[in-house]
Each structure stands twice: as C-alpha cells, then as structure tokens.
Amino acid sequence: MGIVSRGFRGRRREGGDELPPGQYLVEDFPVLSAGPTPRVPLDRWEFAIDTEDGQTHRWSWQEFMALPMQTPTVDIHCVTKWTKLGTTWEGVSLDVFFEDVESAAEYALVYSYGGYTTNLPLEELLDGKAWIVHSFDGEELEPRHGGPARLLVPHLYFWKSAKWVRGIRLLNEDSPGVWETAGYHNYGDPWREQRYEGD
C-alpha cells in the first residue's frame, strides 16, 4: 500500500465553500429514485433496531416524536456529483436510539420501506454523526425525499442516508446493500471520492 498524503485530499470547509473533489453545487434538491415512492401511514410506521443476538427494539411514530429533537445543519453530497450546502433537518440522534441497545456488532445494514438497503460500519452512525429525521427546511419531510422519516449520515455520500428508513440490523459481518452490490463503493467517503468499487 502506498503512502497517502492528506494534502492530496479535498480539504473540509473551514468557512469557505470548498466542495469535495469532483462535486458541483446545486441550489435545488434533486430527487433520485430506484423504485416507486412508498407511502407509509404514520399509524403503521415503526423504526426498529435488530441486534446480532436476535433482540429487536421498536419505536412507534408517537414514541419517535417524543424523543429529544435536534436540528442539524449540514452539507450533503450525492455520488452523482451534486452537493447542497447548509441543509437544515429536524430529528433524533441515533445515539438516543442506541442508549439502551446492547451490542458488540461492528456493522449495520439499514433497511427501508420499499426494500432499499445500505450498509455501513456501526461507528459511522454513532457519536453525533447520524440522525433519523422527519423534517427538512422547517417542513415535514416529503415522501419523495424519504418522508415520513429518513436516515441522515451527511459525512458519507447521500445514498447511505436511506429514505423511508424502517430499521437497522446489527451484524457481526459486513453485508453490502443495494448500491454497494452493484458497483458503488462499500464505504463512500466524499472527501476521498469513494464513488465506485475500487476507488
């Protein structure tokens, strides 16, 4: 393995508007879809965390909405090369959901209403780096953007921020999701331009 100098990476923003390598700025909010938009009634919505030893923790919509909310303002980077700066969301940190979850798993497979999945190391979801969000820009999240609730993991390419999130399965072995099994990068760091398998 060669020596990688951090100087060859894109620099993270420090007051400027520098973008990750290969990205361009958009002001609108493009919608990419791989299937029909699921419509999930709130009285049937649930979010679950399934541990590696078979335990499931569940939250109804009412239970979700009663949890402490945060309003993160973050930049989002799509693997199709658009970046949107300063997006504001409202939702619950995954640290809150994981407070009572006992697990030694290293991997997570996020699954959604409609059948979408995406995988990431569990640590990428913790320590204030990820949320389950129900609002965007002060309005309830539209179905085409993943409403009633989606995952938000802004430090990775946006395909990891699963729309219509339904749950997270904790695993001892990594299990690639929908795009990760079709040529896209397993980890997806925009600052290292990890778009495709092998990048």
Partner 1 sequence: MTAEHLDGNALAGPLGEIFAVDVTAAIGRCASCGLTGPVAALRVYGPEPGLVARCPGCEEVVLRLVRGPGTAWLDLRGTVSLRLNIPD
Binding site for partner 1 (CB under 8 A): 32-37, 79-80, 115, 159, 179, 181-184, 195-197
Q: How far is CA 16 from CA 12, 66, 121, in A?
A: 9, 37, 30
Nearer to partner 1 by C-beta: 124 or 180?
A: 180
Nearer to partner 1 by C-beta: 49 or 162?
A: 162
Find the shortest distance in angstroms from Cβ 119 to partner 1.
Answer: 15
Find the shortest distance in angstroms from Cβ 38 to partner 1.
Answer: 11
Q: How far is CA 66 from CA 43, 62, 99, 136, 167, in A?
A: 15, 6, 15, 18, 18
Nearer to partner 1 by C-beta: 152 or 178?
A: 178
Find the shortest distance in angstroms from Cβ 28 to partner 1.
Answer: 15
Find the shortest distance in angstroms from Cβ 33 to partner 1.
Answer: 5
Nearer to partner 1 by C-beta: 32 or 104?
A: 32
Q: Which amino acid is at 71?
A: T
Q: How far is CA 168 from CA 48, 51, 171, in A?
A: 6, 9, 10
Q: Look up residue 53 and give its DSSP letter.
A: T
Q: By the 8 A CB rule, do 72 and 152 touch? A: yes
